[in-house]
A and B are shown apart, each in its own frame.
Chain A
């Protein structure tokens, strides 16, 4: 099998999964429309880049801009690993961001609750 086809076959499901995750995140209210758009465009660009790796490589060789050997099985593994890592990184960033907002809101809520408790206990003059 052509190695470039193999590269696309391995990574296309990953990219589709990433796009689906970005859209789901927006549709379920965990993410903003802007963030969803940025992520979808990003993953589409990665996908398009993947589809055109072979013509791009040919072009670079023709223009004497690269002297690297053609795609090897190791390259495929390396690229797939990189894309998988990017997917994990985006997921982790989202999770961290949501967690940070939750902690922020909890902190805010507790601070306000503490003030109300003080007022009830009579430590602060009622307004």
Chain B
């Protein structure tokens, strides 16, 4: 699907960056500011619009994101990372024409992704014309930066996703992904509200025969990031959600 170009008399030159955030008052402003206002690939310059979906945090995430210059959508009930991402997708779909959106990216609010990788994904998106791109953290280059239990956990979840849905993506749980505005409707109505949505998105993409490309990315873990990650119970929840989705749909 061709994404960047002209719709009617309006040019599609915007990359909408969605950041689902929950209790991220320390990192959110820096993450928002780390997204450059423009990204240039070959001769094409893309403007960026940062959309933070604040998932009813108990801290100052909302204000900090607003102060950093993002569009902030506020959930008034804590609904989960999947629900927050879905709200972001709905917002983009409603405003795509007005904003001139060509690509939509999602990044984590904890600062584990770099803006350089965002550019890297955009470059690949333009070059390969893929419908969807997923940042892969599980490559050899990240071996030293990613704690062993995280690598094992992510690999395990990818294996489960492969067994249940036939998804061949190596890093199904990556928060850094990019999708063309034309392919967005096909994946935006996923049903899992929690972290299982990462696998569900890939499944929906597979069902709709979208081309998915994996791009190696870096990862930055801090003490805080590691402390906030998925708990073992969260992983159990995630697996339960995936099995339920597979069985009942």
Contacts and interface: CB of A to CB of B under 8 A. Distances in A.
A110 B76 contact: yes
Contacts of A114: 73-74
A111 B75 contact: yes
Interface stretch (B64-72, B117-125, B179-187, B211-219): B64-72
A19 B98 CA distance: 46
B33 to A, nearest CB: 15
B146 to A, nearest CB: 33
Contact size class for A? 10 to 19
Interface in A21-72: 32-35, 38
A107 B91 contact: no
B87 A108 contact: yes
B76 A107 contact: yes
Interface in A61-96: none
Given A34-B248, A38-B247, A107-B79, A127 B99 contact: yes
Nearest to A112: B91
Contact size class for B? 20 to 34
Given A104-B83, A124-B71, A127-B49, A111 B76 contact: yes
A115 B75 contact: no
Interface string B51-80: 001000000000000100101111111010
A34 B249 contact: yes
Contact of B191 (A38, A101, A111, A112): A101
A1 interface: no
Most chain A beta-carbon neighbours within 10 Å: one of B49, B79, B86, B87: B87
A125 interface: yes
A34 B249 CA distance: 6
Contacts of A107: 75-77, 79, 83, 87
A110 B74 CA distance: 9
15 contacts: A35-B249, A104-B193, A107-B76, A107-B79, A108-B87, A111-B53, A111-B73, A111-B74, A111-B87, A112-B73, A112-B91, A114-B74, A115-B74, A127-B49, A127-B99
Interface of A: 32-35, 38, 101, 104, 107-112, 114-115, 124-125, 127
